[in-house]
Amino acid sequence: MRSKVISKKFSDPQLAKKPVSLKENVEGFIVQTPPTVSVIIPTYNRKELLHETLNSLAQQTFPSDHFEIIIVDDGSTDGTAAISTEAFPFVLRYFSQSNQGDAIARNLGARQSQADVLVFLDDDMLVEPDYLTYLIREHAEYQNRITIGVVNIRPEETTSLSLAIDTSLNPHFNSAEVAFTDVFSNNMSIRREAYFKIGMMQGLDFPGSSMWCDLDFNYRAYQQGFQFFRSKKAICWHRDYTVSNLDIHKKRVRTAAYRAVVLFQKYPELLAHVPMFYDKTLIIWGQDPPRLITRKLARSITSSHPVLWSMEQLVNILEKHSPTSSVLPLLYRCIIGGYIFQGYREGLNEFTAGGVQG
């Protein structure tokens, strides 16, 4: 592991001005001395995206002498380390590790921090100038609280699929209190001592991205009585490359569903909290109500290879000739659900003794 601490220099004269107090920034914010904050960003071969994330953090209204950025490089080979030589209006600390996944990277960053509050961001996130100010405000009076901001989708290319996914997320932004299943590690804050009390992030021992490590963490927090809130004024943007292309997106959800089987083996009772798998599980004859049995049978049929192929051909036609069709969002939903079904059933075959029996 290597580390490098960057002294605070200001690359932009406009950013060098003395930060105003929190009371001046946010009306009604009565905390005179803000808590110290570590923003932890795991990264892997995304040097340019990471640079843009850091530039957005350089515009924060939160006092720059009260937060640091901890970069944990998870074995990048694209020259990411060079970013540690650049000057930013905050302390930047760089650590590197062999490629072990983002869950381990976040834990390394948390161990290196001595701040009051940890903020976890991904290297494909952009934040509005008041993001930290409003996010940290939620921790002023609460110990057992995990807080997120409002995430907007910012795809590389605006497509019918990206618009449909963004629209489907909007209703979830209205409430301040959120379910633990709606909190993701790419935009999350928690007091440092609470992070260790919960047990840090835990991966599922798959290579690559640590899918489901946030849900694993949140469920343990939920069991310990933590509350989950959204700061409606802490705005960030997710540059999700998967939402612009159906082929890429369906592969991602299929992989996630495949790995979810291991998560539910770890916490069998968690499955009931995740609606996306409601009609993907096996039929339990004599226990499932008739309506659920009907839904599961319908999902099984619509998730078959011939039906999925037919729907994808229709999507290709509509995307070319009628991209604003109201039928497209429904087709996207059915196709994505079908690949979730396939991935989950593959996981059951792989990780369950005896495999799927129907």
Tell me the whole-structure pTM to 2 decimals.
Answer: 0.87
Residue corresponding to tokens 């808590």:
35
Query: What is the chain's Cα-based Rg?
Result: 22
Residue corresponding to tokens 């302390």:
91
Q: What's the CATH architecture for 2-244?
A: Alpha-Beta Complex (3.90)
Note the pLDDT of residue 24.
43
**Strands, DSSP E only, in 239-320?**
none
Query: What are residue 92's DSSP bridge partners?
Result: 6, 69
- H-run or E-run covering 151: strand 145-153
Q: What is the pLDDT of residues 222-258, one digit of tens each?
A: 999 999 999 999 999 999 989 999 999 999 999 999 9
Which regions in the chain score pLDDT beneath 70?
1-32, 167-175, 353-358
> Structural domain boundaries of the chain?
2-244, 246-351
Note the pLDDT of residue 322.
95
CA 131 to centroid of chain Cα atoms: 16
And the tokens for 234?
A: 């802490």
CA 312 to centroid of chain Cα atoms: 27
Give 3-state DSSP helix, strand, coil % of the chain, rounded to 5.
Answer: 45, 15, 35
Nearest CA to 124 out of 49, 71, 39 is that of 49
Note the pLDDT of residue 221.
98
Note the pLDDT of residue 166.
77
And the tokens for 264?
A: 């539910």
User: Whole-angstrom Cα distance, residue 37 to residue 101?
Assistant: 23
- Helices and strands, counts by H and E, the chain: 11, 9
- H-run or E-run covering 308: helix 305-321
Q: What is the pLDDT of residues 314-326, one digit of tens each?
A: 999 999 999 999 9
Note the pLDDT of residue 155.
85
